[in-house]
Chains A and B, each alone.
Chain A
Amino acid sequence: MKLRIGLAVFVACVVLYPLALPGQYPLGIGIITGALAAGTVGFVLLLGYAHQLALGQAGFCMVGGYASAILCVNHHWDPLAALLAGALVAMATAWAIAAPILKLRGFVLAMASLALHLILIVVALELPFTGGALGTYGVPKFALFGLPLGSDLAFYYVVWLIVLAFVAAGLAIDRSRVGRALKALAASETAALSAGIDITRYKLQMFVVSAGMASVCGSLAVHYLRAMDPNVFGFAFSLNFITAVIVGGLMSVWGGVVGAAIVTGLREILRGLSLPLWEGVIMGVLTVVVLIAFRRGVAGFISHLYDRLASREAPRASLGDPDGAALSRSGRPAARLEVRGASRSFGALRAVSEVSFAVEPGAIAALIGPNGAGKTTLFNLIGGYQPLDAGSIALDGARIDALLPNRIAALGVGRTFQNLQLFDNMTVLENVMCGTHRHFQAERVNRAKTAAALAFVGLRGAERLHLGELSFGHQRLVEVARALALEPRLLLMDEPASGLNDSETERLAELILRVAALGVTVLLVEHDMRLVMGLADQVVVMHHGEKIAEGAPDAVRRNREVIDAYLGSEHVAA
C-alpha cells in the first residue's frame, strides 16, 4: 500500500511539474534534478544500504559524461549506446578498484574512490582526446533508438522514466534477499557472516550498481548541458550526492529522489537570493544536523508520519509452546567435525596450542575450561573468524580451515554468539529469514521455513515483533532460530546459557537435545557445568590454550588435572 502511494505521488509530481511551472528555466531544473536523482538513487544503495561512504562518486559521473561527449561528438555514436558504454566502463572500473580494496576494513573505499576521481580529473585535463581544460563541445541532444528528442520536455520525461526504472530496480533490490543481506551487514557484519552472507560481495555489488547509475547521471547531465569539461563533475558534485542522500533519507530508495530535489531546489533558491557561496555551508550543516538528529532523513520522516496516520496497531504476541514437530529431520546427515593440531597465537600468547579432537555426527560435544583457556578463539578458528597458524579443521573430511565465515556457514555450519549478534534494524521474522540466505529458493519457502524454525524454538507468534520487545532469553532463541533456518549440519553455540535464568537454562537444554535429534551435530562452549554434564555426550577440556582432557562427562569430572585447572587446587581437598 505504502509502495503504491509512493509510486503514485512520484508519477503525479513528475507529470504535473512541467504543467504547473511552464517555461524553459523550471524545465531545465526538472531535467537536472532528474539526472541527479538517477545517480543518487544508486548512491542510496551504496551509502544507506551497504554503509560504504564513497567520496569520489562524481568520478563515475565523469566517466559517463566523457563517454557521452566523446563518443557522440567525435565518433557520432548513438547517445543511448554511448550512455550504456559509459555505464559499463564505470561499472568495470568500480569493480576493478573495489574488489580487492573492500577486503580491507575501515573507510578505505571513501579515500580510494576520491583518489580515483582526482586521477580522472588530471587525466581529463592532460589527455588529448578529452579536449583538455576546454572540454568537448557540441554534444547533440539525447536520442532514443535513433530518434532525436526534439523538445526539452520530451527529454525531461525520458530522464524521469530512467529515474523511475532505477527506483524500481532499487525497490526490487530492497525487497529481495540481497536487500535483506544488506540490512543485515549494516546491522552486524559478524552476524551476517554467520548467516552465510558474503558481505564483501554485496558491498561490491552496490558499489558497481551505484557507479553505473552515477555514470548515467553524468551522461544525462551532459546531454542537457551540451558540453563536458573537467570541472562539471568536481568534488562539490560528490558532496551533492552525499548531502542529497543523507538529507533525503538513507534507509529508502525514495530518499535519493527526495534528496536530489532538495539539493537542486536549495541551490536554485540560493542563486535567486544571490547567495550562491552559502551552498557549501548550508549543505554541510544540513548533513550534520540530519545525521545527529534524524538519521532517516526526509523520506524516513514521511514514512514515519504515514505509519502514525495509518495508526498501525502494534502487533501483540502470544507465544506458543515450542513445537518439536515443526522441524523434521533434514535429508542431509549430521556432519563430523575434526580439529587436528589447531594453533593460534597473538604475539607471544599462544591462545590455542595444538588442540585436536573430533565430534562424531549427531553428537553433542562441549568445550569447557576456565576463563582465558582459548575456547572462544578455538571457536573462531572453526567458524572462520580467525586464520590458523598451524593445524587443520575438517568437516566430513573436507578441510575448511582456509574458508571465510560465510563460506563455512554456507556449508551448513550454524553459529550463535556469547554476546547476542542480532540485526536490530529488523523484525524477528526478518532476522530469522536471514538464516535462509544460503538457500536459493522462493521467498514463500523461506518464509515457511522461518515460521517452522520460530515454532520449533517456541517463538510462534513473535514474527512481527521488533527485538526490543523481546526478553533477553527470547532474543537468544531468535539467534538459535536463525541458525536453524540455515538448516545446519553442525551448530556452534558460544555460551548459550550465559544471561539466562534457571528455568530458561533448563528449556535451553531441552531445546539443544531436540536440535541434536534433528540430525545436527552440536558443539558448545559453556561455563554452566550442570548444563554440560546433563547434556553432552563428550567433553573437551581446555586450559592455557591446550587440551588437557577429553571424554564422557563423568570421566572428565573425576579427572584430577581437570579439577585442578577448572576448580582451582584448593577445591581438591573439599
Chain B
Amino acid sequence: MDFSVFVQLLLPGLTTGCVYALVALGFVLCANVSGVVNFAQGEYVMLGGVVAAFLVPHGVSLPVAIALAVVAGALLGALQERLTLAPARHSPDFIQITITLGVAVVLRGGALIAFGKDPLSMPGFSGDGIFEVAGAAVPVQSLWVWGATALMLAAMFWFLRYTDPGRAVRACSINLQAARLMGVNAERLTLAVFAVAGASGALAGAVIAPIVLANWDAGIAYGLKGFIGAIIGNFRAPGIAVAAGLGIGVLESFAAGYVSSGFKDAIVYGALLAYLLVKGGVFVFGRASLLSR
C-alpha cells in the first residue's frame, strides 16, 4: 500500500469526520437532556454552510459571515426547542421525535426558498491553497476545520466536566428522571443544549463549506452519518460518539479511494446496517437480547 495515498485519503476523511463528530455530539447532548433524538441535527450544518456561503459574495466580511451563521444556528436551535418541543413536552416520545423530523423538513425547505437550488461555493478562510503532508496534498482550509473542531470539542468537554450546567447534562445522561428530581432545571438546560447544538452544527457547516460546497439538501447525509456516531456511542458517551464520527469520515474516504467513489455512501450505510444487525443480535435469542440494547 502506498503510504502517500493512505495519507491522501486519511486527512480529507478526518476533515469531513470532524463535521460528523460535531453532529454526533449534538445528537448525544440533545438526547441526554431532553430524551429526544433531534432529527434536525444535520440541517444546522447545512444552514451554517449556506448562510456563510450566501453572505460572503454579498460583501459581508468572512468573520462576520461565520459569526452570523453560528448565531443563526443558535437562534434556530433555541427556536426549535421553544416553538416545537416545549409545547409537546408531555406528548409521547414518539410524537416529539416525529416533530423534530417535521422541523428538519421546514429547515430544508426554508433553505431551498431562501438560498436557491444551486450549491453555493465559498472561498477558503486563508485562500484556496494546498499544503503537503507526507506526499499528500491537503487544502489549507482543512486546518481551519480541524482547528475549529478541536476548539469546539475542547470547549464542550471543558463545559461538561468543569461547569455546573455541564455536570447537570452529564447527570441527565446517567438518569434523566433522577437528575430532574435533584433540581436540575431540565427546561432551561434543554433550551441551552439545543442552542449550543445548533451553533456547533452551523460552525461545522461554515468551516467545511469552502471544501465541499454548501447545498440545501446536504442535511440528511450529515444527520445520518452523525447519527451513526451517536448510536455507536449508545447516545450516552460523547467521547465515543465523537471518535466514531471521525472514524466514519475516514471510512467514507477510504471507501471512495480504495473501492469506488460511487459506492462510498453505500459502504458507509452498509456498515451502519451491519453494525445494527450485529448489535441487534442476529444470533441472540431470548432474554439475552435484553442485554444487547
| Chain A residues at the B interface, C-beta cutoff of 8 Å | 47, 51, 53, 55, 97, 100-108, 110-112, 114-116, 118-119, 122-123, 125-126, 186, 235, 239, 242-243, 246, 277-285, 287-288, 291-292, 295, 384-388, 401-404, 407
Contacts and interface: CB of A to CB of B under 8 A. Distances in A.
B101 A100 contact: no
Contacts of A107: 37, 97
A441 B65 CA distance: 68
Interface string B84-97: 10011001101101
Contact of A100 (B224, B272, B281): B281
A436 B235 CA distance: 37
Contacts of B265: 118-119, 122
A118 B272 CA distance: 12
A280 B262 CA distance: 28
B113 interface: yes
B292 interface: yes
B293 interface: yes
A451 B227 CA distance: 48
A103 B277 CA distance: 10
Given A101-B276, A402-B288, A118 B113 contact: no
B262 A125 contact: yes
12 contacts: A100-B282, A101-B276, A103-B293, A126-B260, A235-B217, A246-B102, A284-B106, A284-B107, A291-B91, A292-B84, A384-B287, A386-B290
Contacts of B292: 103-104
A403 B285 CA distance: 9
Interface of B: 37, 39, 84, 87-88, 91-92, 94-95, 97-99, 101-110, 112-113, 117, 217, 220-221, 224, 227-228, 231, 235, 260, 262-263, 265-266, 269-270, 272-273, 276-277, 279-282, 284-293
A30 B34 CA distance: 42
B94 A53 contact: yes
Q: Which 9 A-B pairs have the closest CB atoms?
A: A280-B109, A284-B105, A284-B106, A287-B102, A281-B109, A100-B280, A115-B269, A288-B102, A122-B266
Most chain B CB atoms below 10 A, which of A284, A386, A387? A284
Given A111-B231, A280-B109, 12 more contacts: A51-B92, A100-B276, A103-B289, A114-B220, A118-B266, A126-B262, A242-B101, A246-B102, A280-B108, A281-B106, A384-B287, A402-B288
B281 A103 contact: yes
Contacts of B112: 277, 280
A115 B272 contact: yes
Contacts of B293: 103-105
Nearest to B264: A122
Contacts of B220: 114, 235
A287 B109 CA distance: 13
Contacts of B99: 287-288, 291-292
A127 B273 CA distance: 20
Given A111-B227, A283-B109, A104 B102 contact: no
B288 A291 contact: no
Given A119-B270, A277-B112, A288-B102, A102 B224 contact: no
Nearest to B293: A105
B88 A291 contact: yes
Most chain B CB atoms below 10 A, which of A119, A278, A282? A119
A183 to B, nearest CB: 13
B98 A291 contact: yes
Contacts of A104: 276, 279-280, 292-293
A287 B101 contact: yes
Contact of A114 (B91, B105, B110, B224): B224
B273 A112 contact: yes
A101 B224 contact: no
Contact of B286 (A123, A280, A284, A403): A403
B119 to A, nearest CB: 16
B224 A51 contact: no
Contacts of A387: 287-288, 290-291
Contacts of B273: 97, 112, 115-116, 119
A118 B280 CA distance: 21
Contacts of B266: 118-119, 122-123, 126
B235 A106 contact: yes
Given A53-B94, A280-B112, A384-B287, A111 B281 contact: no
B104 A284 contact: yes
A295 B95 contact: yes
A386 to B, nearest CB: 7
B88 A292 contact: yes
B114 to A, nearest CB: 10
Contacts of A102: 280
A386 B266 CA distance: 37
Contact of A246 (B98, B221, B284): B98
Nearest to A111: B227
A107 B276 CA distance: 12
B109 A118 contact: no
A107 to B, nearest CB: 5
B98 to A, nearest CB: 6
Contacts of A235: 217, 220
A288 B103 contact: yes
